[in-house]
Amino acid sequence: MIIDRYITYVRNVKRYSPRTVQLYEEVVRRYAVVAYGTDDVSDAQLVASLNPSEIRSYQVHLMDKDKMSPKTVRLHLSALSGFCRFLVKEGLMKSNPVRLVPKPKVEKRLPHFYKNESLETYFRDTEINASELYLNEFLKIPDTPAGKKLYEDRLARLIISMLYGTGLRRSELISLNVSDVDFGRKVVKVVGKGNKMREIPLVVSLCEEILLYLKAVGALTHEDRSLKSPLLMTYSGNRLYPAYVDRTVKRELGDVKGITGRRSPHVLRHSLATELMNEQADLNSIKEMLGHSSLATTQVYTHSSFARLKNIYERAHPRAKNGGKHGD
């Protein structure tokens, strides 16, 4: 079936994450069910149903019957648009009909972020976890319960350091191998969305933290690791997985003063971008560092920066403090 060919394409050619591949398959099959009552339809039937009228009906179904938010509906339409682009590429359609369907408007919200001061508090409080002293203690007892805790404390600190220090997506962090870190040039090579490769600079302190961590891993595995080995590993020797990273971030930032709201890897990414904007970093440089395909995606952080500037203005500017009235 054409759906199966499409899923193979996005998995092996586009190299989308497993989560994205699963979403795209669910969306296409859901569309078939809404159009025909089943996803067991012929390729010809499915292609014939992909027209602006049917797609608008699908959008109404998602909003009225399934009670989806405008943001989720737009996500479904985007996934369906990807399927249509594939059909055009395969010569089964002349053009993408999703482009002719108006999408529901979504209220723009500023990205949530943590203040740098709060994150610096975390790094000060956990500095011992990344130290050589901590490593030496671990090397004495790597295969004990106490050694496990020392290892996991170090790994947790490094996860936060790398997410905030590089702006990596969770999936990008998990997929890193030892060979992706160039300690000589102080960069990490990342394969992001759409199989696009980029290099992200590493500060000296983060390079040192990674090197000490790798010494701990070497003692744990009792073997020389190849360059293709996972950079970050659980205590049991497996590559990190999404739930592990999520739990770590939630736990590590749970009691940090000044950190409120959702505690997640992506908010650390937002936090770095916002801090770079506040420090007047070049917008295109931030775009390249984060791996955004469009500058418009990066520009959302200018709103966060402006909001902070506006808040400072209202607190500090003489005319703002007296309600805009002229002083004596």
Q: Domain map of the chain by residue range?
A: 2-100, 116-314
- Known catalytic residue: 61? no
Report the CATH fold assignment for 2-100: DNA polymerase; domain 1 (1.10.150)
Whether 2-100 and 116-314 share one fold: the answer is: no
pLDDT tens, position by position, 136-180 = 999 999 999 999 999 999 999 999 999 999 999 999 999 999 999
Average pLDDT across the chain, whole number: 87
Percent of the chain past pLDDT 70, that is, above it, reads 88
Which residue in 12, 6, 44 sits closest to 27, CA to CA?
A: 6
DSSP letter string over 280-320? T--HHHHHHHHT-S-HHHHHHHHHHHHHHHHHHHHHH-HHH
**pLDDT bracket for residue 27 (50, 70, 90):** very high
- Known catalytic residue: 222? no
Report the alpha-carbon distance of residue 21 to residue 183 in Å, rounded: 33
How many CB atoms neighbour CB 320 within 10 A?
13
- The active-site residue, picked from 11, 74, 115, 193, is 193
- Known catalytic residue: 109? no
How many CB atoms neighbour CB 285 within 10 A?
11
pLDDT reported for residue 294: 78
- Known catalytic residue: 225? no
- The active-site residue, picked from 6, 31, 164, 301, is 301
pLDDT reported for residue 328: 44
Give 92's contacts (C-beta < 8 A, 6+ positions apart).
2, 43, 47
- Known catalytic residue: 319? no
**pLDDT bracket for residue 134 (50, 70, 90):** very high
**What mean pLDDT do residues 268-284 have?**
84
**What mean pLDDT do residues 37-43 have?**
88
Structure tokens at 138: 């671990």
- Known catalytic residue: 301? yes
**pLDDT bracket for residue 75 (50, 70, 90):** very high
pLDDT reported for residue 326: 44
pLDDT tens, position by position, 180-222 = 999 999 999 998 887 888 999 999 999 999 999 999 998 887 6
Q: Is 243's pLDDT higher than 90?
A: yes
Q: Which amino acid is at 100?
A: L
Specify whether domain 116-314 bears CATH 2.40.30.30.
no
Which DSSP category does 240 fall into?
P
Q: Is 318's pLDDT higher than 60?
A: no
- The active-site residue, picked from 30, 76, 169, 263, is 169
The H or E element containing residue 199 is strand 197-201
How many CB atoms neighbour CB 93 within 10 A?
17
With 0.85 as the threshold, say if the pTM is over it. no
- The active-site residue, picked from 56, 266, 303, 308, is 266
- CA of 133: how far to CAs of 142, 217, 219, 291, in Å? 14, 16, 15, 36
